[in-house]
Amino acid sequence: MGKKHFQLKTHHLRHLVTHVEKGGILEGHRDVPETVREELYMEEQERLAKKNRKGGHENGLPYPPININVLPSQPSGTRLDVSGAPATAAAKGLGPLDIPGPRDEAVKEYGEWQVSQVTDDTLKTAFRQVCDVMLENGLDLEQVYKDQDPEFFIGKGIKMGIARRFVEDIQRWVKDVKKAIPIHEII
């Protein structure tokens, strides 16, 4: 079709390879199978039609379509947080923790419990690093639980999964492990 050159894309080349594998000859432009030619012409026509449309959008309008997503209504008295800030424990409706014993010891015990939940030595080391970061910054489990902010630890070089697990599991540990310890063992 004249002297027009068409850019061959991967799927065109695959068709040509298949043609040759089936015994076809491909020594020049004239040997290109008719199906590939037709496909190239159709794609070029579609490309030109899109280019000529007003505004260039698929719907033919000078602006893109607008999608409006409606969220389920919220009960009165609550609001939807769209700030992008991490939800705190209070915002999530999580009650306060009651962790018996010294705060720094609770951090160490919780860290060792996290270590006991993995077998990989690298992960064990990473959980111990989170404890070190907490103690270096004077944080206790109650504070980290209230903030629900793994980004703090990520910013200190802790891997995302370790930081998230460490923050998210505090309530579970208190409920399932720490509170299960008889009071006479704490004293």
Domain ranges across the chain: 10-56, 103-186
Is residue 167 within 8 Å of residue 149, measured between CB atoms?
A: yes
pLDDT at 86: 53
User: pLDDT confidence of 78, banded at 50, 70, 90?
Assistant: very low
Query: What average pLDDT does this structure show over 155-162?
Result: 92
Here the tokens at position 22 are 């089936």
pLDDT at 60: 56
More confident residue, 36 or 88: 36
Q: Is 53 left (phi over 0), alpha (psi -120 to 50) or beta?
A: beta
Total-model pTM: 0.49
Nearest to 175 by CA among 129, 112, 110: 110
User: pLDDT confidence of 83, banded at 50, 70, 90?
Assistant: very low
19-53 pLDDT per residue, tens = 889 998 888 878 888 888 888 888 888 887 777 76
Q: How far apart are CA 73 and CA 24, in angstroms?
A: 64
